Amino acid sequence: MSQLRQGDSVAARAIEFAILTAARPREASGARWSEIVDGLWVIPPERTKCNREHRVPLSTAALALVERLPRIDEYLFPGNRSASAQPSVMLATLRSLGRTETVHGFRSAFSTWASECTKHPDFIVEMALAHTVGNAVQRAYQRSDLLEQRWKLMEDWAEYLTQLPKARCL
């Protein structure tokens, strides 16, 4: 995170946003200003892997990042050759920093951190990752996306990221 924050490229900001939100690279790179509403990033169904709306609670750090971005067009992270920054450019940016991780791999890091270092329930973590949670009966009865619990999870994640590399867990 500290390496990313030293850079000033659109791709570096897109990676930072993807990490803070535990989002898929394509979803993060294609984020639009119109999707940011009242501290939430609302990804429409047509832009998600599972074809259903995903509400992402934005941590204080993620909101601060968004507020620092210039409004150039409809995208938070406009691209040079395409409408938005592409995941391939994000990956190239990581490589230029000497990193071997993939952008998508930070989702795994988020899940591992949450399991090893927090008491957040696994199903909350899975919901934060926009994964299908529970069996058909459980999904039929679970009507809430447990936004408040996920908001706390995302704040804890952002706090952890600001402490790196000092602390392994909160």
Q: Which amino acid is at 158?
A: A
Q: Is 128 a member of any domain?
A: yes
Q: Is 48 a member of any domain?
A: yes
Q: Lowest-pLDDT range, 41-50, 52-61, 76-85, 154-163? A: 76-85
54 is catalytic: no
141 is catalytic: yes
Could you say which of 5, 49, 52, 95 is catalytic? Answer: 49
49 is catalytic: yes
Could you say which of 26, 47, 55, 104 is catalytic? Answer: 104
Work out how many domains the chain is built from and give that number.
Answer: 1
Task: Assess contact for 90 and 103: CB atoms under 8 A.
Answer: yes
Q: Is 169 a member of any domain?
A: no
Report pLDDT for 30: 93
Q: Is 74 a member of any domain?
A: yes
Could you say which of 107, 120, 150, 160 is catalytic? Answer: 107
Q: Is 39 a member of any domain?
A: yes
Mean pLDDT of 8-26: 94
Report if pTM > 0.85: yes
Tens-place pLDDT, residues 55-110: 999 999 999 999 999 999 999 999 866 666 788 889 999 999 999 999 999 999 99
81 is catalytic: no
Name residue 120's beta-bridge partners: none
CATH code of the domain containing 146: 1.10.443.10
**SS3 for 48?**
coil
120 is catalytic: no
Q: How far is CA 11 from CA 14, 36, 65, 126, in A?
A: 5, 19, 13, 26
139 is catalytic: no
Show Cβ contacts of residue 53 under 8 Å, excluding neighbours closer than 6 positions: 42, 43, 44, 45
Could you say which of 68, 141, 143, 166 is catalytic? Answer: 141
**SS3 for 32?**
strand
Report pLDDT for 81: 65
Which residue in this structure is represented by tokens 């392994």?
A: 168
Report pLDDT for 143: 60
What order of strands is seen across the sheet that includes strand 40-43?
A: 36-37, 40-43, 54-57
Summarize the chain as % helix, strand, coil (round to 5): 55, 10, 40
Report pLDDT for 83: 61
